[in-house]
Structure 1
Amino acid sequence: MDDKTRMTHITGIAAPLLIDNLDTDQIMPKQFLRIITREGLDKGVLFDLRFDPDGRPKPDFVLNRAEYKNANILIGGPNFGCGSSREHAVWGLQQLGVGAVIAPSFGEIFFSNALNNRLLLIVLEPEKIALLLQDLAIDKRLDIDLEKMEIRCASHVFGFVLGARHKKMIVEGLDMVGATMQLLPQIEAFEQTYHAAFPWGKVLFSEAPQEASA
């Protein structure tokens, strides 16, 4: 379903989750996949990192620290979201309140799943992330301008690249179906042109087959 709320900025607290090759099994462990709805996935996000074997929060884990309690932006390590394909990892991060992840690189399938679900992923060079982290040590808040495609922190502004389709989906609140439906006039025009050129390829089901008489 589309979210019709237009989103031009993601602003908030950024938490450093600097783990190389953080895979989707760590982001959303397998025991939380046995569901028939998406509800409650926030409880499973980074479960083994956030909680001890008795289910108590680990006080030294970054997202359990008071200053990052309401973090909605993550600064990740390289190859963030590698591993198996599971959209549950994306849905869980969103339910936890995460709106964007900034990292040097991402797992390919996770990257596609995230952007198609309106979770913003930003690829930023390691040297720029180092400067970003220096600023976050002073002021933990970031502003991501989706229209100008800029990250603004305490003393730096970093540009980033986002494909036109994904930018449109995130800004305008479109899912894959919604984005496709916006192309309906082009789709119908192609269909008419195609069938005019190749009429034998068009099959009409205007009438249901008649049952044979007894």
Structure 2
Amino acid sequence: MQPFTTLSGRAVPFGAANVDTDVIIPARFLKLVTREGLGKGAFAAIRETPGNLFDRPENAGAPILIAGDNFGCGSSREHAPWALMDLGFRVVIGPSFADIFSGNSFKNGLLLVALPQAAVDRLMEVAAEGQPITVDLENQVVTTPYQDRWEFPIDPFRKHCLLNGLDEIGLTEAAAPEIDAYEARLSAERPWIAGAAQR
């Protein structure tokens, strides 16, 4: 997983509330066997309209999405954060996020930033003007060129994992010395277990 420290860039001012995972990535696009390529199906119903927000040239490569309340509700598909990341987003800012979507996003390195509605409304204005937004995970702040500044909460464990690029595999690999020591001790204390494992 790619570490996340500070990101500054254009934001897509989406802002719709109660966007479920079927809107983020419709079920018909879930036939792929890899994560790559899911971005093509992200927000498919919205992107069918010419001139939609996501396909405007000025928003190409924008790493930040400004969302509305209860973003990511609906089914628990992990494909939703995969599709967002494949589309180029590293951060979603909104007033609130569905719990399962929040967990899936964290495990895949997509940072979700919860801010009060007034702050999100202000960021929508800044994004609509094409001004960059900066998200600093280390200091837990979102800023704009207009001196706007908002602090955001994040679970310390999630912050540690995102800053260091640690997914569940990375966390396990980081504990390899402790795991090896435990296995060596177990093998010495209970050799019949180790012998059974070798058979």
Structure 1, gaps ≥5 residues long: 53-57
Instruction: Find the counterpart in structure 2 of residue 130 from structure 1.
Output: 121
**What is the CA-CA distance between 1:127 and the residue it aligns to?**
1.2
SS state of the match for residue 92, structure 2? strand
Distance change >3 Å, CA 14–CA 205, structure 1 → 2: same
Structure 2, gaps ≥5 residues long: none
SS state of the match for residue 63, structure 1? helix
Instruction: Find the counterpart in structure 2 of residue 104 from structure 1.
Output: 95
Instruction: Find the counterpart in structure 2 of residue 207 from structure 1.
Output: 195
Question: What is the RMSD computed on CA atoms of the aligned residues?
Answer: 2.6
State, as a whole percentage, how many aligned pairs show the same letter. 37
> What are the within-5 Å matches in structure 2 for residues 184-195 of structure 1?
none
Between the aligned partners of 2:115 and 2:179, the Cα distance in structure 1 is 35
Q: Tell me which amino acid in the other structure corresponds to 1:30.
A: A
Distance change >3 Å, CA 81–CA 206, structure 1 → 2: same
Q: Alpha-carbon deviations, 1:103-146, whole Å to 9, x = none? A: 00011100000011100000000011122223334442111111
Instruction: Find the counterpart in structure 1 of residue 163 from structure 2.
Output: 171
Higher share in helix? 2
SS state of the match for residue 89, structure 1? helix
**What is the CA-CA distance between 1:181 and the residue it aligns to?**
3.8
TM-score (norm 2): 0.86
**What is the CA-CA distance between 1:174 and the residue it aligns to?**
1.1
Instruction: Find the counterpart in structure 2 of residue 15 from structure 1.
Output: 12
**What is the CA-CA distance between 1:187 and the residue it aligns to?**
6.8
Instruction: Find the counterpart in structure 1 of residue 74 from structure 2.
Output: 83
Which has the higher mean CA deviation after the structures are superposed, 33-42 or 73-82?
A: 33-42
Q: If you compute each CA radius of gyration, which structure gives the higher value, 1 or 2?
A: 1
Distance change >3 Å, CA 46–CA 187, structure 1 → 2: same
Match of 2:43 among 43, 46, 52: 46
Contact persistence 2:13–2:128 (CA under 8 A): no
SS state of the match for residue 206, structure 1? helix
TM-score (norm 1): 0.80
Equivalent pairs counted in the alignment come to 195
Q: Alpha-carbon deviations, 1:64-95, whole Å to 9, x = none? A: 22221221100000000000011111111111
**What is the CA-CA distance between 1:179 and the residue it aligns to?**
2.1
Distance change >3 Å, CA 18–CA 112, structure 1 → 2: same
Q: Tell me which amino acid in the other structure corresponds to 1:31.
A: R
